Structure 1
Amino acid sequence: MEILNFLARWGHVLFGITWIGLLYYFNFIQGGYFKKATPEALADAKKNLAPEALWWFRWGAMMTFLTGLILLMGVSKLNVMNDYIVIGALLGTFMFLNVWLVIWPNQKIALGMVDGDAPKAAGKALLASRTNTLFSGPMVFFMLASPHFSGGYGHGWGSTGMWGCVVLIALLEVNGLVGKQGPMASVRGVIVSSLVLTGAFVAVLKLV
């Protein structure tokens, strides 16, 4: 059982690197390149590069989620669930759902793989992708904090602060589906927003 738990943790990290690494590639590199590329280069990238990158992206997300579920079930059986695990897992779950239910379906339209309103689909995919980038900072922080930061294993969970964070996450997810990019419109803006959100969650947990 111990070796299975370790293998799940190892896989969770490897798949997570693949997923989040490609998330950052799309947001920090590819988006900017698409704006500057020649029509010929853009057409080639949309036909050959982006679909392959999206394959690794969405299956990296799937395997990260599945190995995370295995780890979460182990944590539940050991009765060491805490606020940090709950927040990290919730952020990761929303990110996974955004990939498969929002980003991928809309990217297929934006890239011309299926018929639809390409500009509108591209906007929806970008907003969800920016939201995932926003969530990524606090998600990784709380996954690491659960066993290593004050308030980790061995402490109770379900505090008022945790529920405050859950409400904030839900509101940000709604914005990621039907709202606006706001400060997330630029690469610098979404990076800063992610760091600020991480600090805000920690403050809420510690002070509320």
Structure 2
Amino acid sequence: MQDFAIFWDWLSFAARWLHVITGIAWIGSSFYFIALDLGLRQRPGLPEGAHGEEWQVHGGGFYHIQKYLVAPAEMPEHLTWFKWESYWTWMSGFFLLAIVYYGGADLYLIDPNVLEMSAPVAIALSAGSLVIGWLFYDQLCKSPLGRNDTSLMLILYVILIIIAWGYTQIFSGRAAFLHLGAITATIMSANVFLVIIPNQKIVVADLIAGRKPDPKYGKIAKTRSLHNNYLTLPVIFLMLSNHYPLAYATEFNWVIASIVFMIGVLIRHYFNSMHARKGQPHWTWGLSAVLFIIIIWLSTVPEELTGEKKLSMTAERFASAQHFEAARDTVMGRCAMCHAAEPSWEGIYHAPKNVRFDSENEIAERAREIYLQAGVSHAMPPGNVSGITPEERALLVAWFEEGLSN
């Protein structure tokens, strides 16, 4: 069993690494082509059907690029398709979802304090929500509401807020954020696989057959590409959020996720405006900073905290705090079954992240992490498998604050 656990952990690492590599390739090409598209310039004498051109310099050479809104008069001999970056990002992401959240459903996907359910039911809800989310989005884009890009984006934002709240009512906070990112990434990748690339293939087939391509296919593809453009940055945040329990494991986590989408849109607007040579709206960064401060406040407002206090004391000060013995007993009773030199929890053979609570000194030295992971937020224990109570969490917070004031 221990060998299998080691293999499973390395399989997770390999899937995560592949996901990061393919994600960089996809997001990088997305940023490049959006910048290229917005930077195109028109001039007299462009070939028939050309919408604009761009001169670029990189790697010791110059590039002369022209874009045809529908298609060129003749099909070029060599045509490069940008699609596999998207496909492999989604496939590796789903593989990672299956390894971590389906394989460890009891720890990472299910939180009994949110909703009691079996692992098969949780997995079915997870996979089903991705499919249903795409189908609903696709039909909305094809409806009369999809004819206006601005109205459609506002409607989609409201729907994303509802989805964010819904996921937090079903899964653990960590899984809720991950699934909000997964459903967004599914929409983005399905846009490429089911809309953008098929439409481009129709245009190519018309050119080969000597027919004049219908411009509607390019317009539809451009709308979906615009959605992908604005969804890119929120997806990155959500995929990284599992490292930050103050984002996903607090009372207003769904509000935090909703604000993250707003910040992503603001930052993307800055880059889009700059690449389109329409100026640099620096106000977007200022507003994003204000929204981020609101996120920080939301992550601590349930405990009426003002944020993380400056640490300047030693572990001995936490060990001498009034509530240390009670906090020590709580940690050893609720956390040490995994965080120990010899974990007793089935399937855990090494202390996660090598964090151990075998001694009073180790607990005192980890006061800040305990405070963040199990006091202010509910990130630990995963899914509250050890049944830590709200009173015990409050005790950990009180202990930490005593250590700060000593």
TM-score, normalised with respect to structure 1: 0.66
Residue aligning to 1:113: 204
Residue aligning to 2:187: 94
Out of 75, 80, 95, the residue aligned to residue 100 of structure 2 is 75
Out of 60, 77, 99, the residue aligned to residue 85 of structure 2 is 60
For the Cα contact (< 8 Å) 2:38–2:272, is it kept in 1? no
1:118 aligned counterpart, secondary structure: coil
- What is the alpha-carbon distance in structure 2 between the residues aligned to residue 20 and residue 89 of structure 1? 15
- What is the alpha-carbon distance in structure 1 between the residues aligned to residue 180 and residue 215 of structure 2? 33
Q: 5 Å matches for 1:117-132?
A: 117-132=213-228
Residue aligning to 1:142: 238
Identity of aligned residues (%): 28
TM-score, normalised with respect to structure 2: 0.37
Out of 5, 19, 27, the residue aligned to residue 20 of structure 1 is 27
Residue aligning to 1:4: 11
- What is the alpha-carbon distance in structure 1 between the residues aligned to residue 40 and residue 239 of structure 2? 32
- What is the alpha-carbon distance in structure 2 between the residues aligned to residue 24 and residue 97 of structure 1? 18
The size of the alignment, in residue pairs, is: 181
For the Cα contact (< 8 Å) 2:12–2:100, is it kept in 1? no
CA, structure 1 residues 47+31, in 2 after alignment: closer, same or farther (shift >3 Å)?
A: farther
Residue 157 of structure 1: how far off its partner (Å):
9.9
- What is the alpha-carbon distance in structure 2 between the residues aligned to residue 118 and residue 62 of structure 1? 26
- What is the alpha-carbon distance in structure 1 between the residues aligned to residue 178 and residue 17 of structure 2? 17
Flag the structure with higher helix content.
Answer: 1
- What is the alpha-carbon distance in structure 1 between the residues aligned to residue 23 and residue 221 of structure 2? 20
- What is the alpha-carbon distance in structure 2 between the residues aligned to residue 35 and residue 15 of structure 1? 34
Residue 121 of structure 1: how far off its partner (Å):
1.2
- What is the alpha-carbon distance in structure 2 between the residues aligned to residue 100 and residue 87 of structure 1? 20
Is residue 57 of structure 2 the alignment partner of residue 38 of structure 1? Answer: no
1:39 aligned counterpart, secondary structure: coil
Unpaired runs of 5+ residues, structure 1, are 169-182
- What is the alpha-carbon distance in structure 1 between the residues aligned to residue 252 and residue 11 of structure 2? 28
Largest Rg, 1 or 2: 2
1:113 aligned counterpart, secondary structure: helix
For the Cα contact (< 8 Å) 2:22–2:86, is it kept in 1? yes
- What is the alpha-carbon distance in structure 1 between the residues aligned to residue 76 and residue 220 of structure 2? 20
- What is the alpha-carbon distance in structure 1 between the residues aligned to residue 92 and residue 15 of structure 2? 5
Residue 26 of structure 1: how far off its partner (Å):
2.0
Flag the structure with higher strand content.
Answer: 2
Is residue 306 of structure 2 the alignment partner of residue 187 of structure 1? Answer: no
Structure with more relative contact order (C-alpha pairs < 8 Å, separation 6 or more): 1
Residue 117 of structure 1: how far off its partner (Å):
4.6
- What is the alpha-carbon distance in structure 1 between the residues aligned to residue 220 and residue 274 of structure 2? 18
1:144 aligned counterpart, secondary structure: helix
- What is the alpha-carbon distance in structure 2 between the residues aligned to residue 156 and residue 75 of structure 1? 21
Residue 150 of structure 1: how far off its partner (Å):
1.3
> Which residue identity does 2:108 align to in structure 1?
V
CA, structure 1 residues 47+118, in 2 after alignment: closer, same or farther (shift >3 Å)?
A: farther
Residue aligning to 1:171: none
Unpaired runs of 5+ residues, structure 2, are 1-7, 49-65, 110-173, 207-211, 262-267, 300-406
Residue 149 of structure 1: how far off its partner (Å):
4.9
